[in-house]
Structure 1
Amino acid sequence: MGKKATKAADNMYYLARSEAAETNSDFSSREKAAEIIGIDRTRLARIELDTIPPYPEEVRAMAKAYNVPELCNSYCARECPIGRNSVREVSIDDFDRLALKVLGSLKDIDSLRASLIAISEDGVIEEKERPAFQEILDSLEKISVNAKALQLWAVKNIRIQQ
């Protein structure tokens, strides 16, 4: 991709377009990228320069066009008023690293299951059970984040549908 836009150098939308330009020269220019995405060139420039936030449908269009599905996750985790409080941003590693993370987060699943059964059998989470319940929730969050990262890797690299 020709020259680097230094003002946009750390903008995730600019970085996604730059990554896409490595395999598709149409994304080397903001003009052609905007045309493919279906937005105005100046709007794309303002998004990449952080002067305006993108609309969710623009993020979805960029993620699809650039083949960077993690862009939607990053938008939800960083910019969406609701998502900022409920969505964890994930990073996509190489497949072997992701597979190990998923397997590592699942290694204690039997003890988590047994602990959850023990806590829930009376239908009440007692004060003394709260630390164990929090550990269960933390483990489930780790499993969820690792599973989402693996899913995004699959969407990006082998075109598995989301």
Structure 2
Amino acid sequence: MEFDCTKEGKNIYFACREKAAKYNDLLNSRERAAELLGISTSTLANHELGVTKNVPPDTVVMMSDLYKTPELRSYYCKHECPIGRNLPLATQISGLQGITVKILNSLDEDGVRTMKKQLLSIAEDGEITADEQDEFDGIVKKLEVLATAMFFNYDNDKKVYVIPMLPEKIALTVNGKLTSMDIDRFGEVLHRGKRDAIQIEFESIFPPKFGSNYCSCLKKEFKSPAVWHKWMLSLSNCKNPFHFVLVGSPFKINMYADIVSYAPYEKGGDVGAIYYKIKIKEHRKPSISTYNKKKKKTTTSGKRPSNKDTLKYKVTANSGLHLRKAPNGEIIALIPNGKSVKSDGKKNGN
């Protein structure tokens, strides 16, 4: 199948601009498109009308980028490039075929061999016909299931456990922290704190056998109900939280959690299967802020010490202050009334 741009016998450069104009209104005008490409309007017209025999490769690259048509480069190399047109290059759109190859590389299990055959049959001609649409939709649904997985891992993901059957319903609860306070002459004030831990509840089954139609894990990841039951009990008693991951879901959960409750049971007629209800809660490591309280300095007398190096006194006695060598000793100086004197609190003073 050739490029969409080459249908109806149109010039490929004009067809690609016309196609791109459906998503970019600026490209409806040849003048505006030429301005964006950095060439004259007449030059672009010559390219689109087939007047130019060999369009410069740098112009083709700019067109390919502006029109968002990478296939334009392949077409140029195959049909117009003097070197490339002599080489066996593929120029057809291989969207469906390419997607098919990528999918099949990841589906190497015995249980999906039928799906591989169906997908290859549909993609063989690169088109999905009306009678193949229902079959293709069924395969897409199966692939969506394979893309969704739930993990109960432990020990830094060294121990990986993939839930064999996804639950039909998952209940996720997230409660916010909103505190209401009444302030006089102001009214009610709302304070929003951190949310509560996320809580998840669901019910599912540990099937006795692997089945590609109902299992959400690969065959090599499948574990028996007894192994799963033992694993759930061990996670319930573990000192550290386990790693809970849900991929392929709108929730996209990735958190450490603890098992709040795990209730397994059996049903008559379904031999070997273990049904269970489980509730898990987000694990949060508490963080406590601490501070050191400063101790007050005290003296033996209980009085608050001075921050100054010296003490200042003022003589208030009418007779002044007599300084002696010793109690009742010889007077060596007289400080008159009203004069200040400084002392370090020891023997020295002035």
The Cα shift of 1:54 comes to 1.1
Change (3 A) 1:88 1:47: same
Report the counterpart of residue 27 of structure 1 in structure 2.
Answer: 27
1:47-86 to 2 correspondence within 5 Å?
47-52=47-52, 53-86=54-87
The Cα shift of 1:47 comes to 0.4
Q: Does the CA contact (< 8 Å) of 1:76 and 1:87 recur in 2?
A: no
Deviations along 1:23-48, one digit per CA (max 9) or x if unpaired, are 00000011000000111110100000
Distance (Å, rounded) in 2 between the aligned partners of 1:38 and 1:81:
25
Q: Which amino acid aligns with 2:99?
A: A
More strand by share: 2
Distance (Å, rounded) in 1 between the aligned partners of 2:9 and 2:38:
23
Deviations along 1:113-159, one digit per CA (max 9) or x if unpaired, are xxxxxxxxxxxxxxxxxxxxxxxxxxxxxxxxxxxxxxxxxxxxxxx
The Cα shift of 1:19 comes to 1.0
Distance (Å, rounded) in 2 between the aligned partners of 1:100 and 1:65:
28
The Cα shift of 1:93 comes to 4.5
Change (3 A) 1:47 1:89: farther
The Cα shift of 1:100 comes to 2.5
Q: Does the CA contact (< 8 Å) of 1:11 and 1:49 recur in 2?
A: yes
Distance (Å, rounded) in 2 between the aligned partners of 1:24 and 1:76:
26
Higher relative contact order (CA 8 A, sep 6+): 1
1:97-116 to 2 correspondence within 5 Å?
97-100=97-100
The DSSP-based 3-state class of the residue aligned with 1:39 is: coil
Deviations along 1:80-139, one digit per CA (max 9) or x if unpaired, are 110001251422244x443226778x9xxxxxxxxxxxxxxxxxxxxxxxxxxxxxxxxx
Q: Does the CA contact (< 8 Å) of 1:9 and 1:15 recur in 2?
A: no
- Check if 1:38 corresponds to 2:38: yes
Report the counterpart of residue 143 of structure 1 in structure 2.
Answer: none
The DSSP-based 3-state class of the residue aligned with 2:93 is: coil
Distance (Å, rounded) in 2 between the aligned partners of 1:79 and 1:63:
15
Q: Which amino acid aligns with 1:68?
A: T
More helix by share: 1
| Unaligned residue ranges in structure 2 (runs of 5+) | 1-7, 106-350
Distance (Å, rounded) in 1 between the aligned partners of 2:74 and 2:23:
22
Report the counterpart of residue 127 of structure 2 in structure 1.
Answer: none
Q: How many residues align?
A: 97
Report the counterpart of residue 92 of structure 1 in structure 2.
Answer: 93
Change (3 A) 1:46 1:9: farther
Deviations along 1:44-70, one digit per CA (max 9) or x if unpaired, are 000001010310000000000110011
Distance (Å, rounded) in 2 between the aligned partners of 1:102 and 1:84:
29
Q: Which amino acid aligns with 1:100?
A: T
Distance (Å, rounded) in 2 between the aligned partners of 1:101 and 1:42:
44
Q: TM-score scaled by structure 2?
A: 0.26
Q: Does the CA contact (< 8 Å) of 1:92 and 1:98 recur in 2?
A: no
Change (3 A) 1:89 1:15: farther
| Unaligned residue ranges in structure 1 (runs of 5+) | 1-7, 107-162
Distance (Å, rounded) in 2 between the aligned partners of 1:58 and 1:19:
18
Change (3 A) 1:11 1:102: farther
Change (3 A) 1:92 1:62: same
Percent identity of equivalent pairs: 36
Which structure has the larger Rg? 2
